[in-house]
Amino acid sequence: MKLSNRIIVGLVALLFFACAGQKDHLIKIDTRHGQIVAVLYDDTPIHKTNFIDLAENGRFDSTEFHRVIPEFMVQGGDVFGKEDVPSEEWPTLEEEILPHHFHKKGVIAAARQGDNINPERRSSGSQFYIVLGKKYTELELTTDMPKLQAAFMQYIQVQSQEELRNTYTRLYEAEAYDSLNQLLLSKRDEIEQSLSMKLTKDIPQERIDAYTSVGGTPHLDDEYTVFGEVIQGLDVAEKIAQERRGPRDKPLEPVYMTVSIERVSKGKIEREFGYTYPDGN
């Protein structure tokens, strides 16, 4: 082997072992339904550091998953409510909304107040949610639904569309909203051509691939900070989402959590959990 080739092989091996030896914080969330294991992203350092600090100081312990919605998400970690901190004094975090982190099934994101009182999209200083969601078709993902809905209502006013108008009315009165949605989508291209308007939207292929294969909640993209993901125990989150709920989607029987941190090499995490760290992390 030539010297230059040996150097290259040596450098590659060095980089491999360096990455394998680097340690990360393995997040373990224990509930009466089982354990959820997660990692947090290095490129959202504000949220990662804050979460680890709260966990290592035991402040997440005895907080609840206080809002759960099947095929959507489970939310918890209300540290400051548990500690009786006045709501107006709850700390927030600077947003770290990144285009390559989106709401595919299994990611962890930070809750926040709405844009009307939080235009900077600052995150809650403790509350987080785990995305469940559902699978979508590419047609659903690439359609501007609010625009299509408005265009559809305009389109069915044409006298020649009486049958379509009657179908819409029947489905609406029956509260068959999924069927209504499919009806609108089936007419998208026809309406685009008839009204000479664009009813599609651009979405990165990476997101299309994720939402059509594993699912998620795409309407939350680019609005909330996504800062980690579940690497084991997503079925536990799904069980939590199935809890009987009362007002504000709060489980009737509390689902408490205990959160712990373990320092583990990235190589071991990749081997044991099948997680692949992004390049450079």
pLDDT in tens, 67-105: 999 999 999 999 999 999 999 999 999 999 999 999 999
What CA–CA distance (Å, rounded) separates 242 from 167? Answer: 34
Strand partners, 227: none
Same domain, 153 and 183: yes
Cβ burial of 108 (10 Å; 0-12, 13-18, 19+) is buried
> What six digits make up the tokens of 205?
């292929």
pLDDT score recorded for residue 12: 42
Residues 208 and 105 in one domain: yes
Residue 123 dihedral angles phi and psi, to the nearest 5°: -85, 155
Kindly give the parts of the chain with pLDDT less than 50: 1-3, 7-18
In 3D space, the residue among 251, 260, 257, 262 whose CA is nearest the CA of residue 77 turns out to be: 257
Token pair for residue 227?
Answer: 């800062």
Q: Is there a domain that residue 9 lies in?
A: no
For residue 20, the model assigns a pLDDT of 52
**pTM of the complete model:** 0.89
- Looking at the domain assignment, is residue 5 inside a domain? no
- Tell me, yes or no, whether 128 and 148 share the same domain: no
**Which amino acid type is present at position 227?**
F
**Residue 268 domain flag:** yes
The structural domain count of the chain equals 2
Q: What is the pLDDT of residue 281?
A: 56
Question: Quick one: tokens of 113?
Answer: 């107040």
DSSP letters spanning 189-222 = HHHHHHHT---B----HHHHHHHHHT-B-GGGTT
- Structural domain contains residue 165: yes
DSSP state of 143: B
- DSSP code of residue 136: -
Measured distance CA(155)–CA(277) in Å, rounded: 48
| CB atoms inside a 10 Å sphere around CB 268 | 14
Collapsed DSSP state (helix, strand, coil) of residue 177: helix
CA nearest 246: which of 81, 78, 64? 64
CATH of the domain at 215: 2.40.100.10
For residues 56 and 31, membership in a common domain is answered with yes
The three-class DSSP label of residue 266 is helix
Q: What would the two tokens of residue 276 be?
A: 């692949």
**Domain shared by 35 and 82, yes or no:** yes
Residues 47 and 131 in one domain: yes
In this structure, are 33 and 120 located in the same domain? yes
Examine the domain organization and report whether 90 and 216 are in the same domain: yes
Of 74, 50, 72, which is closest to residue 63 (Cα–Cα)? 74
The DSSP secondary-structure symbol of 126 reads: S
Indicate the residue type of 272.
E
HSE-up of 132 (CA within 13 Å, CB side)? Answer: 19
Domain range enclosing 175: 143-195
- Name the residue type at position 230: V
Is residue 116 located within the same domain as residue 218?
Answer: yes
Per the domain annotation, does 97 fall within a domain? yes
Residue 3 counted as domain residue: no
The verdict on residue 32 lying in a domain is yes
Q: Are residues 46 and 27 in the same domain?
A: yes
